[in-house]
Structure 1
Amino acid sequence: MVEYSAKSISVLEGLEAVRKRPGMYIGSTDVRGLHHLVWEVVDNAVDEHLAGHCKKITVKVLKDGGVEVADDGRGIPVEEHHKLKVPALEVVMTKLHAGGKFDQQAYAVSGGLHGVGVSVVNALAIRTQVEVSRDGQVHAMQFKQGKRTKKLEVIGQAARGGKATGTLVRFWPDPDIFDTTEFDDATIVTRLKETALLNPGLRIDFHDNRPASQGGGRRESFRYADGLTDFVNDLLDGKEPLLGKPIVISRAEEFDGRPMACDIAVTWMETGHAERSRSYVNIIHTPDGGAHDEGFRKALTRTLNKWGSDQNKLFVQKGPQSVTGDDLREGMVAVVSVKMPDPQFEGQTKGRLGSAVMRKFVEKVVGEALAEWLDANTGDGRKIIKKSLLAAKARQAAKAARDLTRRKGILDSSSAGLPGKLADCSSRNPEESELYIVEGDSAGGSSKQGRDRDRQAILPLRGKVLNVEKAQLRRVLANEEIANLIKAIGTGVEPEFDINGLRYHKIILMADADVDGGHITTLLLTFFYRLMPDLIAKGHVYLAQPPLYQLRKKATVEYAMSDKERDQLLRKVFRTDPKDPKGVEVARFKGLGEMDPDHLWETTMDPQRRTLLRVGIEDAARAESIFGLLMGNSAADRRGWIEANAQYAENLDI
């Protein structure tokens, strides 16, 4: 029997707890957690800007994989801490809950309120260097895995005749902590651009100093004069706005005994259906919304409904009393940015604001300001109401189409509402069941013969599915191929999506490795992203990875997923020159239908040997923009993107 006594109780000192349970502090140790380290350091620099002391932030990805963040703020204090008798810089870097943001003496508002940000970065880095320009000198310290390795020392004079101030932090993430230590420049650039849009006048520079062969070399600079107006126009992403210019609401005042500020910009797309909104607290993005977002939505719905009811004589329709909040927000593009001392977030990763006082403040401000704007801009107000009435009619028509689909399913007792093309599996346990969505009857035939009938279902699709980015929901639901897909999956679609109806925990898209196959995969991903986003968010959507090549020499058979892998196999396994593979039969698969059932099972469907790519949404804002660009209505924007990126295209099918 294992003894359980006082000796069994472990106490983790200092930053040991962070290294032991990193997910508690940065959310995860995957690529999202890795980039959270960058956000923590950048947010500290932004706090200096909010306090009025920083005009420029520079972020660099270093050649050796580290990250450097520099600002021209006041610089972290370096004098001896009055209680701990060590430099204040060392306290900030090595102690949890140590910072100048708790009592509002140094910062009126702050994103990094918990005081664990930069110390957590230090704890999870294999190496950290800090340089502080302050009091005419440049001070430096070094750390390893949260522990000081080099004492504070003066390494030079501050720039500009000793008058320059600021903080520079370099860190290298610990490979023993993170699944990957490779930073993605697009993810960083998107976040930095948003930060600059939220802070008018702040300049943010980005340099990727990695070699071009490793995807490096990117340089960007962001500085915006009009703040949220620029942000909303950026979110429009080329779509025609419904209003002449965005509605801008900005107010700062004492509320419930504390200083509060609210900045909002909102407009609507002329023809778009999807809502695009972002919310922030003290410049920290809150992807899960919270009190400020709820206050904005409630005030928007109540005020527009009341104003529309007073104006209903202008419309032939029944009036906005039948319009829901979702109808009013269809095609809405909005940015909600609030500031307050001591915001209460849910968790250190700050995904959702929980401060109830902010809900009341935003609701009051938006209600008053929006009512004033509507009275002064009657024409634009009517446009909003008319658009919401059209959305209500489309919603009611879509509901009727869903109801009709359900009734057909109930009446079709022979298949219990399942599509006739579906070759279902015998298992009724969703956790072990898989649905392969394949391209055409040819691939469907091979996959049906080669599958595990107990656990793998096959649904062949005819041709290319409808582009849901352009179509109204009523037309989408009337499409036979999409209706079959919805029936097979069993969850329904937004806004009535129910994850409890999911019939397969793995939904695998298996298309040919050519241009048409890539287009079909993109159309299907658009469908899932728009109508069943929770399937992607919860990790139920996968991409099959069928091989491109079969290499055979006598009894030796290998498969390659790419040209590079083919050449490696020729060199290492077959001991031959890739340019002249003597004695090796190299066959390229043109489509899944050309593979016999045994080969398809062996390479693509056998759970023990296959490779699947899980589809995730690491950055919803970027995904929203890309889907709108590639699958939306603007051919001109799409052409411009293709022309700008044509130089990066590989494996063209021409």
Structure 2
Amino acid sequence: MPESYGADSLTVLEGLDAVRKRPGMYIGTTDSQGLMHCLWEIIDNSVDEALAGACDHITVTLHRDGSVEVADNGRGIPVDVEPKTKLTGVEVVLTKLHAGAKFGNSSYNAAGGLHGVGSSVVNALSSRLDVEVDRDGRTHHMAFHQGHPGVYTDADPASPSPDSPFKRTRKNRPTELEIVGTVPANVTGTRIRYWADPEIFNDTARFSYDQLIDRVRQTSFLVPGLRITVIDENVPESAADSAADAEPQDAAATTDAAAASDGAGEAVADVAAAVEPAEPADAIETGGSAETSEPATEPRPAAPAYDHERVVEFHHTGGVRDFVDFLSKGEPISDVWRITGEDTYEEETQAVDENGDLHARKVTRTCGVDIALRWVNGYDTVMRSFVNVVETPGGGAHVDGLMASITRQVRKTVEDNARRLKVNLKDAAQKVERDDIMAGLVAVVTVRIAEPQFQGQTKDVLGTAQARPIVSRMTDRQFGEMITGSKRGYKEQSGRVLEKIVGEMHARIQARKTKEVTRRKNALESASMPPKLSDCQPGNDDVAELFIVEGDSALGTAKAARNSAFQALLPIRGKILNVQKASLSQMLSNKECAAIIQVVGAGSGASFDIDQARYNKIVMMTDADVDGAHIRILLLTLFYRYMRPLIEQGHVYAAVPPLHRIALAGPRKGEVIYTYSDDELNVKIAELERDGIAYNPDIQRYKGLGEMDADQLADTTMDPRTRMLRRIRMEDAEEAAGIFSLLMGDDVPPRKRFIVDNADDFDRSKIDT
């Protein structure tokens, strides 16, 4: 029999107890994501003061005891008594759900904290929270334990702790704000310091400094003129000096001296595309006093390494235009295009009357729109959307309005210029889709609305439907002038953008056709491949290798040296197209590039599907000279730009053919030694002479792979039992993108400067990076 069910079975959770019982309703999760969400709520409240024009400096301090403090120079939380609850404004804001000045009050025209639960939720989920408010020439203080007001007795007031004795204020008794100091009459602000409650957050919850910096940086872009300082007290004040004294480390990629074993005898060395990152231009970093000392007479111990400075400050004045500039990676196709304006709409909302009752009434709202966008020469999409500086990762009405209008305008313009863009309007398949437009698009979409509607407390998606037509109308008018080239100065840019979008459309169509071809099931598919491909036998997809061979002479030797069961050969004629400089349509029309993409069989660009790749390894087999290195770079540029997952997942390799062949004589006649550089040759000859080992002085130097016989090529370069390969990998995609743009792009002066500055540090062993 089930237990009896009556009114005494019901539980009523009052105040903040409901938050502690179901925290996921308010912060999403109780892991790292929820932990960071609490910080966003407190920071957003300070940012709202900046949006109201009352604050220009926010400081976020990470204390060594794990607590976080957010301070601003805004108006300060009200300290007078709220008439309805008879509580001070501080206690109302921090203990009452859905309480605040953002429910139709004129104090905030646009704000991120809208539900009135942010500060109170953080308070409920903290083992301790301290708040200080500067107002009316005084500093007011109040403390809370798990959302309940009271008084802590700290052994050292300068070092507050959540473990200190706590006396809770009796229920229904107003808590007096403690006045702890005085300030000038014109000084105002709020400081909130809290300790996240370990009883709420699980063991996997970790604070992310990188997420904090990203959030602070983006906020400084979105609120021009706002200065935000981040202080990490976990980094000693002398860390900067210690780091300066430490020996600098080489951040370039290195090849492991002891190559790892990959298969039966095959040596594989990983080559990384890594560059030491420069200090971000938007970060003004301070901290650590300069000291002088006598030169050390003994070796110093290595200084502890810190990933970041103790103090970092962000301050921007260019708004979303600067934000798009910061987010853009690779060669820009267009300048930053701006869509701005304001419009009004009517909305029915619940308003509080003078008696404190809610009544429905229609109000006129203002929607401010500020959008910046540009296209770059790549296929990744970077879309960041915000409502009142609160990020909406799921997009919403504002993003929908933008993309619907852009898609409409681009399609119309492509149709009007179909002949110039080589688009067959009679072919139903040749229709621009949204994915074609978004390839290479970098955009920041912001709207400012009083009391916007979000889907859930975590504010991932904007739900205010009226924002969509407003954004759409502005985009139709302003973007329409830009993409058609009717706006002065945009004709050339719009032409490049349209060519890129149409190129993406053709690539998508071609990729779909490629996927429709059955993979290695019969001889028909082989006939669809380029005739110069010497394919391997079907059925070995998990170990199949494609060797991209330089020239027909090398191809002839390679055919005799390969194992046709799993090794395929594709010859290329000299140096392929530099796709970093070329457009997508130029790349697709290039025979060599098109052949490589077709043979790999997984498509290209945004439609690339690595699961459809026909080979497990792609091996660049070029001559061991400067021209061979150049060809490898051009091939890598093609793979990086249009088949990047191959590199990311470690499927691209560079063969390592020898440069010299030393034939031994005397008792060791018949043995050979291969060397891979002039320096290695000199060292090896010196060793042979030192050890009295005879060798043939007529040392063979290979001018190309075609000079090797089949046995030599197999032993040194193709046989998995004896060869050595270098796996190409990427440590950081964004840094790699910048390097490819620098070394292979159109802008010559920065490349020349880079080569001149780094000529003295050239390391031949890193030539494949």
Q: Is the 8 A contact 2:131 2:142 kept in 1?
A: yes
Q: Is the 8 A contact 1:493 1:531 kept in 2?
A: no
Alpha-carbon separation, structure 2, partners of 1:528 and 1:375: 28
Match of 1:306 among 387, 412, 415: 412
- What is the aligned partner in structure 1 of residue 392 from structure 2? 286
Q: C-alpha displacement at 1:419, in angstroms?
A: 6.3
Alpha-carbon separation, structure 1, partners of 2:496 and 2:486: 18
- What is the aligned partner in structure 1 of residue 200 from structure 2? 177
Q: C-alpha displacement at 1:302, in angstroms?
A: 1.7
Cα distance 1:372–1:479, how it changes in 2: closer, same or farther (>3 A)?
A: closer
Q: C-alpha displacement at 1:318, in angstroms?
A: 4.6
Alpha-carbon separation, structure 1, partners of 2:28 and 2:447: 23
Q: Is the 8 A contact 2:132 2:190 kept in 1?
A: yes
Q: C-alpha displacement at 1:295, in angstroms?
A: 0.4
Alpha-carbon separation, structure 2, partners of 1:197 and 1:77: 29
Q: C-alpha displacement at 1:111, in angstroms?
A: 0.9
Instruction: State whether structure 2 residue 350 is matched by structure 1 residue 240.
Output: no
Alpha-carbon separation, structure 1, partners of 2:488 and 2:641: 37
Cα deviation 1:476-535 (Å, max 9, x = unaligned): 99569976xx79xxxx99659899x9xxxxxxxxxxxxxxxxxxxxx9xx9999779xxx
Instruction: State whether structure 2 residue 433 is matched by structure 1 residue 324.
Output: yes
Q: Is the 8 A contact 2:134 2:189 kept in 1?
A: yes
Cα deviation 1:372-423 (Å, max 9, x = unaligned): 445553653453344333443344345434433442238369xxx9962449
Alpha-carbon separation, structure 2, partners of 1:386 and 1:116: 48
- Equivalent runs, 1:544-555 vs 2, <5 Å: none
Q: Is the 8 A contact 1:47 1:107 kept in 2?
A: yes
Alpha-carbon separation, structure 1, partners of 2:594 and 2:92: 58
Match of 1:251 among 341, 347, 367: 341
Q: Which amino acid aligns with 1:163?
A: N
Alpha-carbon separation, structure 2, partners of 1:624 and 1:101: 41
Q: Which amino acid aligns with 2:497?
A: K
- What is the aligned partner in structure 2 of residue 231 from structure 1? 323
- Equivalent runs, 1:349-368 vs 2, <5 Å: 349-368=458-477
Cα deviation 1:108-141 (Å, max 9, x = unaligned): 1111111111111111111111001111111111
- What is the aligned partner in structure 2 of residue 189 from structure 1? 213
Cα distance 1:626–1:43, how it changes in 2: closer, same or farther (>3 A)?
A: farther
- What is the aligned partner in structure 2 of residue 296 from structure 1? 402
Alpha-carbon separation, structure 2, partners of 1:387 and 1:69: 43
- Equivalent runs, 1:192-591 vs 2, <5 Å: 192-211=216-235, 217-237=309-329, 239-243=330-334, 245-256=335-346, 257-269=364-376, 271-311=377-417, 315=421, 317-318=423-424, 322-373=431-482, 374=484, 376-377=486-487, 380-409=490-519, 411=521, 420-422=540-542, 495=607
Q: State the SS of the aligned residue for 1:252.
A: strand
Alpha-carbon separation, structure 1, partners of 2:139 and 2:502: 62
Q: Is the 8 A contact 1:185 1:218 kept in 2?
A: no
Cα distance 1:385–1:479, how it changes in 2: closer, same or farther (>3 A)?
A: closer
- What is the aligned partner in structure 2 of residue 167 from structure 1? 190
- Look at both structures and tell me which one has the larger radius of gyration over its CA atoms: 2
Q: Is the 8 A contact 2:401 2:469 kept in 1?
A: yes
- What is the aligned partner in structure 1 of residue 250 from structure 2? none
Q: Is the 8 A contact 1:308 1:385 kept in 2?
A: no
Q: C-alpha displacement at 1:38, in angstroms?
A: 1.1
Alpha-carbon separation, structure 1, partners of 2:343 and 2:142: 41
Q: C-alpha displacement at 1:328, in angstroms?
A: 2.8
Query: Which ranges of structure 2 fall in alignment gaps of 5 or more residues?
Result: 152-174, 237-303, 347-363, 524-536, 545-565, 570-578, 613-636, 650-719, 722-730, 745-749, 758-765
- What is the aligned partner in structure 2 of residue 574 from structure 1? none
Q: Is the 8 A contact 1:476 1:482 kept in 2?
A: no
Q: State the SS of the aligned residue for 1:392.
A: helix
Q: Which amino acid aligns with 2:336?
A: P
Cα deviation 1:182-201 (Å, max 9, x = unaligned): 42221101110000100111
Q: Is the 8 A contact 1:98 1:115 kept in 2?
A: yes
Q: C-alpha displacement at 1:315, in angstroms?
A: 4.7
Alpha-carbon separation, structure 2, partners of 1:73 and 1:357: 31
Cα distance 1:192–1:624, how it changes in 2: closer, same or farther (>3 A)?
A: farther
Q: Is the 8 A contact 2:63 2:69 kept in 1?
A: yes
Q: Which amino acid aligns with 1:259?
A: T
- What is the aligned partner in structure 2 of residue 65 from structure 1? 66
Q: Is the 8 A contact 2:432 2:505 kept in 1?
A: no
Cα distance 1:362–1:391, how it changes in 2: closer, same or farther (>3 A)?
A: closer
Q: C-alpha displacement at 1:217, in angstroms?
A: 4.2
- Taking structure 2 as the reference length, the TM-score comes to 0.56
- What is the aligned partner in structure 2 of residue 153 from structure 1? 177
Cα distance 1:158–1:246, how it changes in 2: closer, same or farther (>3 A)?
A: farther
Q: C-alpha displacement at 1:273, in angstroms?
A: 2.1
Q: Is the 8 A contact 2:41 2:113 kept in 1?
A: yes
- Taking CA–CA contacts closer than 8 Å with sequence separation of 6 or more, which of the two structures ends up with the larger relative contact order? 2
Cα distance 1:8–1:422, how it changes in 2: closer, same or farther (>3 A)?
A: farther
- What is the aligned partner in structure 1 of residue 35 from structure 2? 34
Alpha-carbon separation, structure 1, partners of 2:405 and 2:63: 46
Cα distance 1:88–1:4, how it changes in 2: closer, same or farther (>3 A)?
A: farther
Q: Which amino acid aligns with 2:121?
A: V
RMSD: 4.7
Q: Which amino acid aligns with 1:258?
A: R
Alpha-carbon separation, structure 1, partners of 2:22 and 2:741: 43
Q: C-alpha displacement at 1:69, in angstroms?
A: 0.6
Q: C-alpha displacement at 1:176, in angstroms?
A: 2.2
Cα deviation 1:565-610 (Å, max 9, x = unaligned): xxxxxxxxxxxxxxxxxxxxxxxxxxxx99xxxxxxxxxxxxxxxx
Instruction: State whether structure 2 residue 3 is matched by structure 1 residue 3.
Output: yes
Structure 1 window deviating more from structure 2 (308-317 vs 61-70): it is 308-317
Alpha-carbon separation, structure 2, partners of 1:116 and 1:528: 46
Alpha-carbon separation, structure 2, partners of 1:482 and 1:175: 51
Q: Which amino acid aligns with 2:469?
A: K
Percent of pairs identical after alignment? 36
Cα distance 1:93–1:377, how it changes in 2: closer, same or farther (>3 A)?
A: same
- What is the aligned partner in structure 2 of residue 514 from structure 1? none
Q: Which amino acid aligns with 1:223?
A: H
- Taking structure 1 as the reference length, the TM-score comes to 0.65
Q: C-alpha displacement at 1:632, in angstroms?
A: 6.5
- What is the aligned partner in structure 2 of residue 20 from structure 1? 21
Cα distance 1:396–1:286, how it changes in 2: closer, same or farther (>3 A)?
A: same
Alpha-carbon separation, structure 1, partners of 2:742 and 2:416: 35
Q: C-alpha displacement at 1:634, in angstroms?
A: 5.7
Q: Is the 8 A contact 1:43 1:111 kept in 2?
A: yes
Q: State the SS of the aligned residue for 1:43.
A: helix
Q: Which amino acid aligns with 1:262?
A: V
Q: Which amino acid aligns with 2:372?
A: A
- What is the aligned partner in structure 1 of residue 118 from structure 2? 117
Q: Is the 8 A contact 2:454 2:460 kept in 1?
A: yes
Q: C-alpha displacement at 1:627, in angstroms?
A: 6.7
Q: C-alpha displacement at 1:4, in angstroms?
A: 4.2
More helix by share: 1
- Equivalent runs, 1:127-146 vs 2, <5 Å: 127-146=128-147
- What is the aligned partner in structure 1 of residue 663 from structure 2? none
